[in-house]
Amino acid sequence: MRKADDLLISLDQITCGYGNEVVLDRVDFSIERAQFTGVVGPSGSGKTTLLRVVTGTVSPAAGSVWQSNGLRLAYVPQVETVNWNFPVTVGECVLMARTTRRGTTSEGSTRGSYGRWAPWPSRDERRLADEMLARLGIGGLADRHIRELSGGQQQRMFIARALLGEPQLLLMDEPTSGVDVKTRHEIVHLLGELNSEGLAIVVTTHDLNGMAAHLPHLVCLNREVIAAGTPGEVLTPAVLERTYGAPMEVLEHGGMPVVVDHYGRDASSVRAIGNSGKSS
């Protein structure tokens, strides 16, 4: 099958499940060079599974996955799934990206030391790690234990590890879950910068206003793709109700869509909830 030159990966009619439960149902999903997509949907809507199909750690029950030749992709897991007490320093963590030979085709920059078996890093590797950490604004922290970093710094460390593999496509699972507003802004801006340098990025998020509304392209997912397009196109009450199974309202503020929960036609029901909450 001929694909457009810019296409990095394309999922065609993917169906996926665990046991008898269908998690993804005939999903089409494709990513082009330098695309920045947010996958939104409620918990259990198949967001993480979709990422896993893209990374290849989950094989679909039906459908096909097409990958551009020699695609280098990097995955950043949810920060919550990591054992932050593991005995490892920031520098050691970042250099995990250089464990295997796979994932590099660019000659010159990584010649010789890549896929090195020796337990200790070469001087080149240490320099590379330091440079990458500095580029992401956490320079000088290489010798710290990973626990000593703040939430935003931990996220940056993982991005640094991902970038050290020189990926064309970066996949991040819920990069802004559990971080404060300032950190969320920093992460969104950092990803925007990386994307403007030509890196394709896919993030999953359930944060519609803080994250999704700021992205150029969204895919609404709930077992199947409900809608795909710009935030202006997909953040509509009709699409959101089908995605989240609950009515929502979309306001506009400063040219951006703002999604708010919708508790019913008249405000009295909202007041009733408020009152019952107080009286008990």
Partner 1 sequence: MLGSFISQVFGPMELEFFRNALMVSTLAGALCGLVGVFVVLKGMSAIGHGLSHAIFGGFVASTLLGINVLLGAGAWGVASALMIGGVTRRRIIGSDAAIGVITTASFALGLALIAMFDRTARNFEAVLFGSVLGVSLADVLVVAAVTVVAVAVVVLHYRSLLFVTFDPEVAEVSGVPGARLEAILMLVLAASILVTMQVLGVTLVAATLVIPATVARMLTSSFSRMLVLAALIGAGSGFVGMVASYHLDVQSGPAIVLVGAGLFATVFMITGHRGRMRVGDLVSAHGGANSYLKEVRPEDLASPQSRLAVPPQFVPPSSGR
Rule CB under 8 A: which residues touch partner 1? 55-57, 73-77, 80-89, 92-93, 96-103, 116-120, 145, 147, 161, 165
Please, what is the Cα angle at 90 between 84 and 92, to 5 degrees? 105
The CA R_g of the chain, rounded to the nearest whole Å, is 21
Q: How far is the CB of 164 from partner 1 (least distance, A)?
A: 10
Pair of tokens at residue 234: 């997909």
Q: How far is the CB of 101 from partner 1 (least distance, A)?
A: 8
Residue with smaller CB distance to partner 1, 101 or 127? 101
Residue with smaller CB distance to partner 1, 26 or 116? 116
Residue with smaller CB distance to partner 1, 77 or 210? 77
Q: How far is the CB of 144 from partner 1 (least distance, A)?
A: 9
Residue with smaller CB distance to partner 1, 73 or 132? 73
SS3 assignment for the chain: CCCCCCEEEEEEEEEEEECCEEEEEEEEEEEECCCEEEEECCCCCCHHHHHHHHHCCCCCCEEEEEECCCCCEEEECCHHHCCCCCCCEHHHHHHHHHCCCCCCCCCCCCCCCCCCCCCCCCHHHHHHHHHHHHHCCCCCCCCCEHHHCCHHHHHHHHHHHHHHCCCCEEEEECCCCCCCHHHHHHHHHHHHHHHHCCCEEEEEECCCCCCHHHCCEEEEEECEEEEEECHHHHCCHHHHHHHHCCCEEEEEECCEEEEEECCCCCCHHHHHHHHHHHHC
Q: How far is the CB of 103 from partner 1 (least distance, A)?
A: 6
Q: How far is the CB of 77 from partner 1 (least distance, A)?
A: 6
Q: How far is the CB of 99 from partner 1 (least distance, A)?
A: 4
Residue with smaller CB distance to partner 1, 15 or 122? 122
Q: How far is the CB of 280 from partner 1 (least distance, A)?
A: 28
Residue with smaller CB distance to partner 1, 66 or 86? 86
Residue with smaller CB distance to partner 1, 66 or 84? 84
